Structure 1
Amino acid sequence: MVTTEICIFTLDSITLPDLLSPEKVHQSSLSTVRSQPGCQNIYWGIGIQDPLKLFWFIEWDSLSSHRTFQSLPAYPSFVSTALTLTSPSSPLPISVLHFDFPTPPSALFPRSSQKPYLEYFSFPVLPNTHDLISSVLSTLRSALSTYDGQGGIDSTYGFAIDHGRENDCVSLISWKSKEQHEAFLQTEAFGQAAPKMREVAAGPPVAIHVDLQEWE
């Protein structure tokens, strides 16, 4: 099963041209990850509501492939270099979690020049509520799959597989536009799901849209 690593960086006055430049740290770091055995895909982008958030979505053929990369002698140097992108004042410069999504991100993104309006939605859930929230999110996923007349809206969700973080839930939704997302919030399907999610939430959610720069 594909394991998706989600890295969220809190940037330090880094501009999009800096992130896109082949000569600078960000693209060099991406190249290092891409060259690792077992790395299948990388997608990245910046937060629309918070442009100092940088997202990496890395698909590994297994969690062990990422662990092998982390065990290399050069890995600490790689991390130190990547940290130069982040704000030194941030209490959490980089967040890293792993997910075995039933549908990996690569299946959500269109194989075309149409950039998806990706929603990243995460929230911690109460222990022993995985079945309930899975049922709610599965129902939402079904509603999304038939929401429009152009193939539906692709989505996926999962729980972190990292030790101690198993109650962290993430949903990814590949909207076609901001307006489409706003319209769905008015539907009966969302209206029924929202209170159920609030009931099992163990903390506030994080909802942010990602301006993807690489998704094909």
Structure 2
Amino acid sequence: MAPTPATEIATIPLQAGATIEDPETPAGKIWSATLDTISQQDGYQRCYYGRHVEAQTSLDLFVDWDSFEHHQTFTKSPVYGPFEKNLSSIMDGSVVMRHATLDPHPPSNAVGNTSVPVTEVLYTYLDGRDETYESNAKKFGEILVSKSDACKGVSTGWVREQLAGPNADASDKKDVFIMLIGWESKEQHMEFRGSKDFQDAIPLVRKGTLDMHHTSFNEK
């Protein structure tokens, strides 16, 4: 049986002034080395990253792997310690790490700088994995794509790890469902949120605790 692909979803708190986009700066050289190391690992498929539009020192790093186990093998390899130490030198805090099996995989219809200028990253924190919620989320995505020309595509799935929601006690772990929704722009997404089509559809996913931001992704 072929392995199940997985996407590593890391939120990295960057130090203020860490100019990772400029490969000539110290932070940029560290970031380039980080991406090079990841891309050299067995099972690596694709890597894309970007700052949160709403919080510029928060960075999303998404890595598509042949399987969750391939990423785990990397974290247990001899290169991982120096890799982690190098990356931590431009961080201001701890990484929040998640893994998800997304549909479709890879989520290139919703993430990527070539055809998707900005991605809405929506987490829903729930008391248990709810198949009805998953089905409703897929319906919600279909409505967005069909009703808005600005919506480029949607990829969804359950996060492997249980996590505490925003402003929740760290011990209050929940099941997490993720939706990646590609848009022409944040402004067009926010404009569509005021439409009747959106207002009619949003009850499908309005459950638990929702946490949303936008990221403009670059691909390695």
Deviation at 1:166, TM superposition (A): 7.0
- 1:86-115: CA deviation from partner (whole Å, max 9, x where unpaired): 11xx3xx20110000011322434684x55
Deviation by residue 1:92-139 (Cα, 9 ceiling, x = unmatched) = x20110000011322434684x552111111211225x2222122111
TM-score with structure 2 setting the length? 0.82
* 1:133 to 1:145, Cα distance in 2 relative to 1, 3 A: same
Q: Is contact 2:116–2:152 with CA below 8 Å preserved after alignment?
A: no
Question: Which residue type is aligned with residue 161 of structure 2?
Answer: D
Deviation at 1:69? Answer: 0.8
Counterpart of 1:28 (choices 10, 25, 33) is 33
What pairs up with 1:172-191 in 2 under 5 angstroms?
172-191=180-199
CA contact (8 A) 1:41 1:106 kept: no
Taking the aligned partners of 1:29 and 1:83, their CA distance within structure 2 comes to 10
Corresponding pairs, count: 204
TM-superposed CA distance for 1:145, in Å, is 2.3
Kindly report the root-mean-square deviation, in angstroms, between the aligned alpha carbons of the 2 structures: 2.4
Equivalent residues of 1:117, 1:211 under 8 A apart: yes
Task: Tell me, in whole angstroms, the C-alpha distance in 2 between the residues paired with 1:39 and 1:139.
Answer: 31
Code of the residue aligned with 1:69 in structure 2: it is F
Aligned mates of 2:198, 2:183 — CA distance in 1: 15
Tell me, yes or no, if the aligned pair for 1:160 and 1:166 is still in contact at 8 Å.
Answer: no
Percent of aligned pairs sharing the same letter: 23
String of CA shifts for 1:33-62, please: whole Å, max 9, x gaps: 001011000001101110010111100011
Partner of 2:213: 208
User: What corresponds to 1:194 in structure 2?
Assistant: 202
2:168 paired residue number: none
Q: Is the 8 A contact 2:110 2:116 kept in 1?
A: no
1:172 alignment partner AA: L
The answer (yes or no) to whether the contact 1:159–1:166 under 8 Å persists in 2 is: no
Whether 1:74 and 2:79 are equivalent positions in the alignment is yes
| Cα offset, 1:184, TM superposition | 2.1
With structure 1 as the length reference, what TM-score do the two structures score?
0.83
In structure 1, stretches of 5+ residues that fail to align are none
Distance of aligned partners of 1:20 and 1:170 in 2 relative to their CA distance in 1, 3 Å threshold: farther
- Residue of structure 1 equivalent to 2:12: 9
**Structure 1 residue 189: Cα displacement:** 4.1
Aligned to 1:134: 134
Q: Cα offset for 1:75?
A: 1.1
